[in-house]
Structure 1
Amino acid sequence: MTETDIEADVAEAQGAALELAKLSDEERQTTLYEIADAIEARTDEILAENEKDVEEGQRLLEEGEYTQALVDRLKLSESKIESIADMVRSVAEQDDPLGKTLSARELDEDLELYKVAVPIGVVGTVFESRPDALVQIASLALKSGNAVILKGGSEALHSNRILFETIEEAAADAGIPDGWAQHIEAREDVDRLLEMDDSIDLLMPRGSSAFVSYIQDNTSIPVLGHTEGICHVYVDDQADLSMAEDIAYDAKVQYPAVCNAVETLLVHEDVAAEFLPAIADRYETADVEIRGDEATREIVDVTAATGDDWDTEYGDLIVSIKVVDSLAAAIDHITTYGSKHTESIVTEDDERARTFMRSIDSASVFHNASTRFADGYRFGLGAEVGISTGKIHARGPVGLEGLTTYKYHLEGDGQLVATYAGEDAKPYTHEELDADWSPGRLSDE
């Protein structure tokens, strides 16, 4: 794609975004159902293209360029495609995020101000190897009325192409404006996108901290960063140890390649002697490699952890374990090494849980639950474009609401600012209203 091509495509996306914003929720919902049906209907084609990516990934794994976790993320199956289609339907069934009245205020009699949810506009995304990410992001963009520029990883090239083609054709058949979704493949196109601050309203990179930092440092477009998931589970001395064992196992083993899998297990010293042998045995059955600090290795025979282990996202069947002497020490460790993604405390002491959850500055903080629950689908958001570890605009799993902004609508009856200025100024009432905006609302009363 040449520079001229990408500029033309982004311009087309801008025009499509204006049209998308005017579509009804029924039109967007119906299109998503048709996209889901089309994905299922093309299962064999999608699997055939995905196999090309998996074969190449396996070759690069054998050459030491890819990890097993990356190859695992690439793989699709009939059941996975079915779950992708179900995810699209789940997005379709979410409440319409557009047109909602977020607040209403009377400025004066027959002068009413409404804050109303609207699409962001044109969203640019760069994401990792999981082919389902393309479908998630495109579905959420369509439901929220946004045009989207999609750049997936080269390792999923064939999978992304067939999935994008399926989505684009189904949406076109449903009457969605051409150009609402654009698929780019060349790495140099990303650098050009970073310069298009007058055309792209939001960038959403999903990848390493270094990659997200690169995006942030090289653009003036607002960036909603999805970075590493260095997640922790802290087993308190007041924990139900059977529960803690189950949570620690699920958080690591259920799907180790994702960003909400636990990477470091913190264990209070008063329960370490009882808890560590049990969880070590459980991890061993799942081929989890344990890297422990000195106190851990005095109790169980595991590999020695290094300083690098505490700030590493393994994305694999590896976990680091550290014994701590207090809740405060656990909080301090997470504050020092965490990525502000997801943390969990296992304890029966509600006051300690409250202290942990208030003290930890992460997007998601759990009590007696696996970190794997940090997910847009599980949160009831339909899906997610990513998990934001930042704090501004959206945080945690970013679903439909994270893809909206707002505008102010003022409904009046010929009022002039001059009436409210000067010595004889009329005062504003500034009273909150319990009302939803609609054009001509005042004349309808």
Structure 2
Amino acid sequence: MTAIELAIPSLVEIGRVTRDSARLLGVLSSEAKNAALEAIAASLEAEAEAILAANAADCEAAVAEGIAKPLYNRLKLDETKLKAAIAGVRDVGRLSEPIGEIQIKRELDEGLILKRVTCPLGVLGVIFEARPDAVIQITSLAIKSGNGVILKGGKEALRSCQAIVKAIHDGLKNTDVPANAVQLLTTREETLGLLQLDQYVDLIIPRGSNSFVRFVQDNTRIPVLGHAEGICHLYVDKLADIEKAVPVTVDSKTQYPAACNAIETLLVNREIAAKFLPLVAEALREQKVELRGDEATCEFIDAVPASQEDWMTEYSDLILAIKVVDSVEEAIKHINTYGSKHTEAIVTENAEIAKKFLAEVDAAGVYHNCSTRFADGFRYGFGAEVGISTQQMPPRGPVGLEGLVTYKYQVVGAGHIVATYAGKDAKPFTHKDL
């Protein structure tokens, strides 16, 4: 059931109702929220056939309209993907309760106690292209963290999103979580309207192309959390173990090339290039990867000559740019110049070179001897994620529950007044951590 079908007359009213529902949700017990998550998982399982049928209709329509391959890959929701998303709902239910955690407990003076306690943000506005499974991930995290959520998917995923939200609302019917805490918008015009709901929405999370995220950032006063691009790199050092480097490269590129944590550029140290490049090129070509290389790369393997544009492109497809570099310093400089601060990796057996790379590369995720595809909230043990943030301020990287809570200061006294602690005869504070 969509927000439209609930007969809510305007976006302002949707914002108000979601805010009111979020306040009820925000004070529920962990047991009540976890029961709601289990009910959602069971409802999604019961409605799996209808959800997959809706997605098949979306995919068919998208193909007819000439959808780009990377976007189609994100849109496609098969049985395996749906089961994984439902498992993620239950994983979120098993996570520690994020609300009500006492981060600081301090005696300011006898009988005057300060606490810093975690609490929900309020209402999330999440705008995404394709990726209907994101609805499931985001809703489960929102409920667990006590937040309301207003969802706006791309038109290509409309039927899928409607079917999923209907299942979610059906699952919430006999729980303490108000169904109006989860809303779905369905029209393009509502996207701009959502960005203006600063009175009701506390955080906007966009998931889409670089231009889309920039558009969101330029058209709202609401704080925005997200990443614009996923231009990720893998650097194979001169002291790399080739038996590790080849499968790590192939996995980082081909395991799911449409993902934002798949590599777009491979950097190879010149001293290992003659031995490594032919081996990795063969393995990549077996996976139908098109190779684009700089002049030095083309001396070792057959590749399409790369241009400057290739270092700045997120292909989200089976295309890989390759550049030969002379040192780890050159690799780091290239990554910090062209990377999007998402996820970067090095393969090397030298601990000092790895340490230098991990320290000097500016990215939300920096990896040593493993695939960049591990950059994911589920794989990090977060249960799921609302998105990946590449901003400098936290939260950074895959954003799970910890990125959806804030805190408030609670001070309890017994008639204490500030005048007691001011002036010539001021009483000192004890400032004793409890």
Q: TM-score range by the shorter chain?
A: over 0.9
Deviations for 1:219-278, whole angstroms, at most 9, x for unmatched residues?
111111222110000001011111011110100111111000111000000000000000
The CA deviation at 1:30 is: 0.7
* Cα shift at 1:412: 1.8
- Report the alpha carbon displacement of residue 138 of structure 1 after superposing the two structures with TM: 0.8
Deviation at 1:81, TM superposition (A): 1.8
1:74 shift after superposition: 1.6
Matching of residues 314-393 of structure 1 within 5 Å:
314-393=315-394
Tell me the equivalent position of 2:133.
132
Deviation at 1:79, TM superposition (A): 2.1
Secondary structure at the aligned position of 2:10 is classed as: helix
Deviations 1:124-147 (A, max 9, x none): 010121110111111110110000
Q: 5+ unaligned residues in a row in structure 1: which ranges?
A: 434-445
Name the structure 2 match of 1:113: 114
Give the drift of 1:175.
2.9
Q: Does 1:27 align with 2:32?
A: yes
Say yes or no: does 1:8 pair with 2:9.
Answer: no
**Equivalent residue, structure 2, for 1:436:** none
Instruction: Quote the offset at 1:4 in angstroms.
Output: 5.0
CA contact (8 A) 1:256 1:315 kept: yes
* Aligned match for 2:49, one of 35, 41, 44: 44
Q: Give the counterpart letter for 1:352 in structure 2.
A: I
Within-5 A mapping of 1:172-321:
172-321=173-322
Partner of 1:122: 123
In the TM superposition, what is the alpha-carbon distance from 1:80 to its structure 2 partner? 2.0
Question: Paired residue for 2:59?
Answer: 54
* 1:367 maps to amino acid: H
Q: What per-residue deviation string (whole Å, max 9, x for no partner) do you get for residues 169-195 of structure 1?
A: 211321312410110011111111222
- Deviations, residues 72-113 of structure 1 (Å, cap 9, x unaligned): 222222222211110110111111110011122221122111
CA distance in 1, matches of 2:176, 2:106: 37
Q: CA deviation at 1:392?
A: 2.2
- Kindly indicate whether the alpha-carbon contact (under 8 Å) linking 2:233 and 2:266 is maintained by their aligned counterparts in 1: yes
Deviations 1:400-427 (A, max 9, x none): 0100000001122221111111111100
Name the stretch that deviates more: 171-180 or 288-297: 171-180
How many percent identity over aligned positions? 50
Q: TM-score, normalised by structure 2?
A: 0.97
The aligned counterpart of 2:428 is 427
User: Which segments of 5 or more consecutive residues in structure 2 lack a partner in the other structure?
Assistant: none
CA distance in 1, matches of 2:354, 2:48: 45
What are the equivalent positions in structure 2 for 1:135-174 lying under 5 Å apart?
A: 135-174=136-175
1:442 equivalent in structure 2:
none
Per the alignment, residue 96 of structure 1 pairs with 97
SS at match of 2:296: helix
The Cα of 1:6 is off from its aligned counterpart by 1.1
Q: What's the CA shift for 1:57?
A: 2.0
Distance (Å, rounded) in 1 between the aligned partners of 2:115 and 2:414: 15
8 A contact 1:74–1:156 mirrored in 2: yes
Shift of the alpha carbon at 1:3?
10
Task: Give 4+ residue runs of structure 1 displaced > 6 Å after superposition.
Answer: none
How far, CA to CA, are the matches of 1:318 and 1:363 in structure 2? 23
What is the alpha-carbon distance in structure 2 between the residues aligned to residue 220 and residue 174 of structure 1? 34
**Counterpart code for 1:252:** K
TM-score, reference length from structure 1 = 0.94
* Range moving further from structure 2, 323-332 or 79-88: 79-88
Q: Which residue of 2 aligns with 1:439?
A: none
Residue type at the aligned position of 1:119: P
Comparing 74-83 with 183-192, greater Cα deviation is found at: 74-83
Q: Is contact 2:8–2:14 with CA below 8 Å preserved after alignment? A: no
Distance 1:60 1:309 in 2: 27
Q: RMSD between aligned alpha carbons?
A: 1.3
Structure 1: how far apart are the matches of 2:202 and 2:71? 30
What is the CA–CA distance in structure 2 between the aligned matches of 1:224 and 1:303, rounded to whole Å?
36
Q: Contact 1:204–1:226 at 8 Å: present in 2 too? A: no
Contact conserved, 1:230 with 1:259, CA < 8 A, in 2? yes
